[in-house]
Chain A
């Protein structure tokens, strides 16, 4: 009886030590779920979800404060991916956050009008606007995420939204039109 208790105690102690060591040795900084959610988000950092960037939104989802349908740039594909990851039901995009745009856009600055106030530079979440005080500003279109956050601060309204130009390298073959012909419609035409 005593041997059994002592054995159990020793075993518990040994396993406790092992677990303690593992907890220290393989400690994971941060929440891996946040990283996973963040990697699915489109990283426009546009704030349409109501959070100041994609990562804060990912953190809010993890905390259960935000729904998965608040990201208009990601749209249906992102919602489906999030639902898949988190094991919840997919739902349509919340219209309060915005609507999903079909066309990818970027912004350009009309350099003739720009007064060099640097307000847009401060607004850009990805540092895609180049310029200095009282100097012309310009957008690095390759880096622009199309978040449009630079437009409201501009005092002279010289920032325009333009669709991304379709090139051979980025061309997408369109999906064939809905190929299904309803069987009953065929039958109906035959009967005639």
Chain B
């Protein structure tokens, strides 16, 4: 039911590029093989890398969770085949930096034994949030190339429903045919996945956009929509123009809506997903299978037998190419992704990841073509080609001059890095690389700013703390001094007291002397009593006289 009456819009700029697509669509999708060793980078999505939950030496089954999502914008990771976790270590990953990152290495046992799955026959009575959880737990990310966790884009957010769900089947970049082949062979899965997503989003309308250079896929998809679509899905043939497959571009073409600058399509009530993602959603929701494999186009003049193959996530690129015919002698450069937006690989020891849609082998000649960079002649061809209405030339000058404020005034961050400006540039200026440089430079400056603000706060806090400590120490010292002075003064008082006591004592003694001279109780005694006292005194005297020598005797 290709709707020829439906009105299509168009976006500014864009390019008609030679497709080179026939090269890799001659054969059906090849089945996956099990390599001896699988390399699974923890970072395969936009957002936070996942967090390993297995340890070295652990046996895992196919589809078993091996790393969980870390935070909201993150996706879990599953074992692509059964085997043993041999290492969790740093490995080269496919990234423009050529840096290594933490990967889980699985040594496969060749049995490919699935973990116990929990299929779900129907999705109609499932709660949208339960659906999203199921999709999140399956580790599904946008398979078109960006790798944004899909469950987030299946959340209508504050809206109760959205207007259009757009399924992106444009596949506009030259050479890549994996979505084309997927549509030809698995159209039913895509349509059912689309219905599931429509249910999760409460989407009023669902549009599938296929570029008109894929007549076979269009036909198969139209048949599938007729059979399964319940009249809710429209499939539309859109003109072939690069980069129609960009999210914002295909939304513009199908709905006429434009996302605001630096905004999301959701802001205009639209959500866009890739066909590959739709098929993966179907697998996850109905069969309970997590994302452990995907379809990849292996193509280019530098590849012996171009074609499409299902491949386990984590398969090393060199083994994959070797297994599927190998390199041609004229190979010069290996690109992951398409010729316009792909990244050239420094090494083929890197693994296939969730977002790898194509491996393109270019010849030496293609790789070195247009390498001579000449000065900008201000022709403005880049401006005419830019699909997001930017001024690439101005951006280039500001990036060249390192003016990071001005370049943002010219909306650098709306650039989708499609490469149209580079392609048309008669001077072969690597414009996109300038924009990437400027973007990462701005991010780095923002990080620096944050860090220096924190350092300033910490320094100020330290100064404050030192000041406080100094004050406290001064206070303590002052108190101590005061205490010392006080104790000195109390000594003086004590002296006074002791003198007083001494004086009192002498007084008492003198008094006692006086008392002993005039003992009051000897007055008025009888003669007999006086005599007795005298006798007693005499005896005491005698005793004393006798005692003294005796004591001396005992001592000697």
Contacts and interface: CB of A to CB of B under 8 A. Distances in A.
Interface of A: 38, 41-45, 53-54, 125-128, 143, 145, 166-168, 170-176, 179-181, 183, 186
A38 B453 CA distance: 10
Contacts of A38: 456
A166 B441 CA distance: 14
9 contacts: A42-B448, A42-B452, A128-B458, A145-B451, A167-B101, A171-B97, A172-B440, A181-B373, A181-B374
Given A127-B462, A167-B99, A168-B101, A173 B440 contact: yes
Nearest to B448: A42
B429 interface: yes
The interface centre, meaning the residue of A43, A45, A125, A128 with most chain B CB atoms within 10 A of its CB, is A43
Contact of A170 (B447, B453, B458): B447
A174 to B, nearest CB: 7
Contacts of A127: 458, 461-462
B434 interface: yes
Given A143-B458, A181-B374, A183-B375, A173 B95 contact: no
B509 interface: no
A143 B454 contact: yes
Contacts of A166: 97, 99
B375 A173 contact: no
A45 B459 contact: yes
Given A173-B436, A176-B433, A176-B437, A126 B455 contact: yes
Contacts of A171: 95, 97, 99, 440
Given A53-B459, A125-B459, A127-B462, A43 B452 contact: yes
B373 A173 contact: no
**8 nearest interchain CB pairs?**
A43-B452, A43-B455, A126-B458, A173-B436, A179-B373, A171-B97, A173-B440, A172-B440
Given A127-B461, A168-B101, A183-B375, A173 B455 contact: no
The interface centre, meaning the residue of A44, A166, A168, A181 with most chain B CB atoms within 10 A of its CB, is A168
A69 B437 CA distance: 26
Interface string B11-52: 000000000000000000000000000000001000000000
Interface string B334-362: 00000000000000000000000000000
A93 to B, nearest CB: 16
B405 to A, nearest CB: 10
Nearest to B372: A181
B430 interface: yes
A148 B451 CA distance: 17
Interface in B402-461: 429-430, 433-434, 436-437, 439-441, 444, 447-448, 451-456, 458-459, 461
B444 A172 contact: yes
B96 interface: yes
B459 A126 contact: yes
B433 A173 contact: yes
Interface residues of B, number: 34
Nearest to A186: B374
Contacts of B429: 179
Contacts of B447: 170
Contacts of A176: 373, 430, 433-434, 437
Contacts, number: 80
B375 A168 contact: no
A43 B457 CA distance: 9
A53 B458 CA distance: 12
Nearest to A128: B458
Contacts of B454: 143
A172 B441 contact: yes
Contacts of A42: 448, 452
Nearest to A177: B373
Contacts of A45: 455, 459
Given A171-B97, A173-B437, A180 B444 contact: no
B375 A181 contact: yes
Contacts of B462: 125-127
Nearest to A124: B462
A54 B43 CA distance: 38
Given A43-B452, A181-B373, A168 B459 contact: no
B360 to A, nearest CB: 21
Nearest to B43: A168
Contacts of A167: 99, 101
B96 A173 contact: yes
A134 B373 CA distance: 61
Interface in B451-482: 451-456, 458-459, 461-462
A42 B372 CA distance: 39
The interface centre, meaning the residue of A174, A179, A186 with most chain B CB atoms within 10 A of its CB, is A179
A168 B437 contact: no
Given A38-B456, A167-B101, A172-B444, 17 more contacts: A41-B452, A42-B452, A43-B459, A44-B455, A45-B455, A125-B459, A145-B451, A145-B455, A168-B95, A170-B447, A171-B440, A175-B399, A175-B433, A179-B400, A181-B373, A181-B374, A186-B374
Interface string B235-275: 00000000000000000000000000000000000000000
Nearest to A182: B375
Contacts of A173: 96-97, 433, 436-437, 439-441
B310 to A, nearest CB: 27
Contacts of B455: 43-45, 126, 143, 145
Contacts of B458: 126-128, 143
A147 B372 CA distance: 42
A51 to B, nearest CB: 13
Contacts of A186: 374
A54 to B, nearest CB: 7
A143 B399 CA distance: 30
A125 B451 CA distance: 14
A143 B462 CA distance: 13
